Chains A and B, each alone.
Chain A
Amino acid sequence: MDDPIFTYALRIGDDALVLGQRVSEWCGTAPTLEVDLSLANVALDLIGQATLFLGLAGEIEGAGRDADRLAFFRDVDAFQNALMVEQPNGDFARTIARQFLFSTYQEGFYGALSHSAEPRLAAIAAKAVKEVRYHAALAGDWIVRLGDGTDESRQRMIEALDWHWRFVDELFAMDAGERALLEKSIAVDRAALRPAFDAAVGAILAAGDLPAPRYPQRPVMGGRRGHHSEHLGHLLATLQHIPRSYPDARW
């Protein structure tokens, strides 16, 4: 049985790692040079957070696995990221919608985690919360402008928010392991973050004159148990194939 704090640090790190890898796919192909740099900065911030959380997970596990080992040498079913972050980038609207929803969630999550009774988790969260606050503001600005822009940009933003909304509930779901850590004041009470998240999303939608997201399906979950969409395997193939092909390489 894994140490529950190991599992907790791992899933926080996996969220950041997988989203950082996704966002980095825009590097060199974003709509403008300025947006390219903005998205690359976001991706690098997330990879930096992943390095710290996965490094801590490896330290707690005490089995000699460092952040690189955990990132590059685990298979898809060992990843515990939420399903939202592994979804393909789609168009710019869909990338921005995901960034806004996830960064807004992350801002509340890291803010609460910075008061964790586990001081190493709290220290990383206190540093990272400033980064994700900027990501949320950047993506929020774009949601307003695309929502309030041309007919096409508005339509694409409505579809992008609808498309991602099925993955939101998973961000606020707790399993037994997290509830046990919550009782020790180590884990964040995710459910308690939801009202502030809904208010922040509502404010940006109102500013962009956008309707509340709608989706036909029930919420999709399972990422925390390693049940992923087909997309994560392809992402990990790109992420992992060099270190796996040359496991002794140093750079």
Chain B
Amino acid sequence: MSADWPLWEVFIRARGGLSHRHVGSVHAPDSAIALKHARDVYTRRMEGVSIWVARSSEIAASDPAEAGPTFAPAETKVYRHPTFYSIPPHVKNM
């Protein structure tokens, strides 16, 4: 039965102020049921305050075979890291 249903990726916000994080997936016939399934599968132990679900088939992913051309060029660009700035002492979290 669940094989007839589309797959949904589940994202949970653990606390206010944090981003939603991918936690897994559920099968469900539509988004409303997917949210309820996600609640029952992934928030049984108070793991979250907000849930997103997205059809897995709607997510576009980078091609692992193209990992070299996609990510390698960034390796040598150390100047893109803001490590050359000194942080004023009264700035606590940066």
Contacts and interface: CB of A to CB of B under 8 A. Distances in A.
Interface of A: 31-35, 37-38, 41, 137-138, 141-142, 145
A37 B44 CA distance: 10
B27 A34 contact: yes
B40 interface: yes
Contacts of B5: 32
Interface string B1-35: 11001000000000000000000001111101100
Range of interface residues on B (Cβ < 8 Å): 10 to 19
Nearest to B41: A37
Interface of B: 1-2, 5, 26-30, 32-33, 36-37, 40-41, 44
Given A34-B37, A34-B40, A145 B29 contact: yes
Nearest to B2: A32
Nearest to B42: A37
Contacts of B27: 32-34
B27 to A, nearest CB: 6
Given A138-B36, A141-B32, A34 B26 contact: yes
Contacts of A32: 1-2, 5, 27
A216 B24 CA distance: 47
A10 B22 CA distance: 44
Q: Which of A31, A32, A138, A141 has the largest count of B CB atoms less than 10 A from its CB? A: A32
List the 6 closest A-B pairs by CB distance, nearest first. A32-B2, A34-B37, A38-B40, A31-B1, A37-B40, A41-B40
12 contacts: A32-B1, A32-B27, A33-B27, A34-B26, A34-B28, A34-B41, A35-B37, A37-B41, A38-B40, A41-B40, A41-B44, A141-B32
